[in-house]
Amino acid sequence: MKRISASFLPPIAFTDRTKTPMYRQLYDWFRQAILDGRMRPGQRVPSTRALAAELKISRIPVLGAYEQLLAEGYFETFVGAGTCVASSIPYDSPSAVAVKAKVRKGIHETAEKPGVQYIRPRRMSYRGAALARVLPQSWLDNLGAFRVSLPALDHFPIGVWSKLVAQHSRRPAKGIMAYGGPMGYMPFREAIAEYLGTVRGVRCEPSQILVTTGSQQALQLSAQVLLDPEDRVCIEEPGYTGARQAFLTAAAQLIPVRVDHDGMNVEQMVRRDGRGRAARAVYVTPSHQYPLGMTMSATRRMLLLNWAARSGAWIIEDDYDSEYRFGSYPIAALQGMDADARVIYIGTFSKVMFPALRLGYVVVPKDLVRAFAAARDTADGFSSTLYQAMMTDFIRDGHFARHIRRMRMLYMNRRRALVKAIDAQMGDMLEVIGAEAGMHLVALLPPGTNDVAISKHAARMGISAMPLSSCYLKPPVSSGLVLGYGGANEQQIRDGIRKLRMIVQSAPAVRNAV
C-alpha cells in the first residue's frame, strides 16, 4: 500500500483546562481523526521524538498514546517505514458511512434554517415505537402528597429490618452469596405460599411460586410466555398503564373493556368474543380495581372463569394492594375460585414493605412452571437471595403480619384525612369515588378540565397528582386525579389539597398554557 506522507497531519491542539492526561488527549485526537477520515489507511505519523519536539512536550505521553493506538489496531509499524495508520482500517470510516446514510435518507438544509438537518426517524421495532409513544410522567417526580403506590416509609420497622440485615450479612451462607435459581429461594417461596393460602385464599404449592423483582416483571414474563404478536388481550378501561406497556412489548393487540360499579364488564367482553375473535388473555384487578377502586362482583368472577375455561384463555390477576381494606376483611383472590388452572396470580411486596426491596411473585399453573422459569432465567437470572432470606424471617417471625395491621390503621386514618380535606377545601371541585381500600383514591374534576395540565402544574409545585386520563387507552370518559395517601402525613395532605385548589381554580389558564 502506498504510504501517505506525515506532512499532511492535521493540527493537534491540547486543552490545558481539562483533567484528562496529555497522553489520553493525544490518543483521543488520533483515534477521532482516523474515525472521521481525516487520517487515511497507510498514512505515516511522525516519530514519537519528532512529534514531541513539534508539540514541545515530553516524549513520554507521546509514547503512551502510540502504544495504546498500536495495541488497539489503529496504528501499525513497518521496518524502515516507521509508524502508519493501520492498512486494515476501512477507507470509508464509520463517520463517513453515517454521513452517506444520512444523505440517502434525505437530510438537507434550507435557506431559512441553514445548518439544520432533517432526517427520517431511524428504524426500531414495533414494540420500541409503541413504547416510545408513552408520555413522560412528570407526576411521578415527587415523593409525598400524592404519589401513587408510595407506602408510609417513615413508619417502616427499620429497627427490626436492620437486625435482619446484620444477622444475614454477618456470616452469610454460600447459597445466599452464590447464583440463585430462577424460581427463587425455596424457604421464601414456602413462606409466600403459606401466607397466600391463609390470607388471600390462593391455592398453590411452593413449587408454583416464582419470585420476581416486582409486579412489573411478573407482567412482562406473563406476556412473554403467554402471548404471540397480534394476540388479543382484554384490559380494564381505565386500567393500569404498566400492564399496557408490558403487553405492548409482546406486540399484543389491546382490547379495552369498560369497568362499572361491579368491575370489568365481563358480559360485554364475552359478547365481543362471540363474534369469532377470542382473546388469548385478560388482565384484571378484581379485588381493588386500578385505578377506580371497585371490587369485581361474584357473578362476574364466575362468568370470567367460565369464559376462560371454555375459550382456553388465560386470566392475569394483579392483586397489587389487597391487604389494605378498611370496611371489611380482604376480598379472596380470584385464583382461589379457579378450577381449571387458567389464572396467573401476581403479587408484590413493594407496597406492603418498600419499593426499593424489588421483590414480587407469580403463582404459576403447574403446566407453565418450566416456561416461566426459563423466561425468568433469560431475563435476569434471579432476585437477590439475601433479601429473600431476610423476607423469609420477616414473615415467619410475625413482623410482616404486625406491620400490615399497623399500616391498615394508618392508611385508613390518612384516607379519612384526605377525604375530609377535599370536602373542606374542594368539595365543589372534586368528587371522590372508589371503595374504602388500598392506598389511593380517585377524585373526578369538573367536566372539561384538562387533568394532564393540572398534573403538570401540580408537579411544578411539588405535588404528585396522576391524571385519570392517562389510565385510558381510548379517549377518556372522565377527567380526574388519582391521589395516593400512603406516603403523605396529614399535614402534607392538607397542604397538598390547598395547592391543588389553587391549581384547579386556575384551570382555564392552565389549559391555555399547556
Ranges of each domain in the chain: 6-85, 94-123, 138-148+402-513, 172-396
Give the contacts of 50 (CB within 8 A, at least 6 positions apart). none
Instruction: Answer yes or no: is pLDDT of 456 > 70.
Output: yes
Query: Which residue's entry shows cell 378498611?
Result: 326
Instruction: Give the closest residue to 325 by CA, choosing from 448, 436, 210, 414.
Output: 436
What span, in angstroms and rounded, lies between the C-alpha atoms of 46 and 65? Answer: 13
Q: pTM of this prediction?
A: 0.81
**Facing residues of 253 across strands?**
232
Band (pLDDT 50/70/90 cuts) for residue 464 is very high
Is 395 or 8 the better-scoring residue by pLDDT? 395
Band (pLDDT 50/70/90 cuts) for residue 511 is very low
What span, in angstroms and rounded, lies between the C-alpha atoms of 179 and 386? Answer: 11
Instruction: Answer yes or no: is pLDDT of 90 > 60.
Output: yes
Q: What is the pLDDT of residue 329?
A: 72
Q: What is the pLDDT of residue 324?
A: 87
What span, in angstroms and rounded, lies between the C-alpha atoms of 2 and 279? Answer: 67
Enter the C-alpha cell of residue 392: 423469609
Q: What 3-state class would DSSP assign to 223?
A: helix
Average pLDDT, the chain: 87
Query: Which residue's entry shows cell 435557506?
Result: 111
What span, in angstroms and rounded, lies between the C-alpha atoms of 358 and 80? Answer: 62
CATH of 172-396, one of 3.40.930.10, 1.10.1660.10, 3.30.420.40, 3.40.640.10: 3.40.640.10
Give 120-172 pLDDT, tens digit per residue.
Answer: 567 777 767 767 776 667 667 777 789 999 999 999 999 999 999 999 988 88
Instruction: Answer yes or no: is pLDDT of 213 > 60.
Output: yes
Give the contacts of 80 (CB within 8 A, at least 6 positions apart). none
CATH class belonging to 6-85: mainly alpha
Q: What is the pLDDT of residue 37?
A: 85
Angle (nearest 5°) at CA 498 between 496 and 503: 90
Give 249-276 pLDDT, tens digit per residue.
Answer: 898 999 999 999 999 999 999 887 665 4
CATH class belonging to 138-148+402-513: alpha beta
- Overall average pLDDT of the 106-115 stretch: 50
Backbone angles phi, psi at 314, to 5 degrees: -105, 145
The number of residues in the chain equals: 514
**Are the CB atoms for 362 and 345 separated by under 8 Å?**
yes
Instruction: Answer yes or no: is pLDDT of 118 > 60.
Output: no
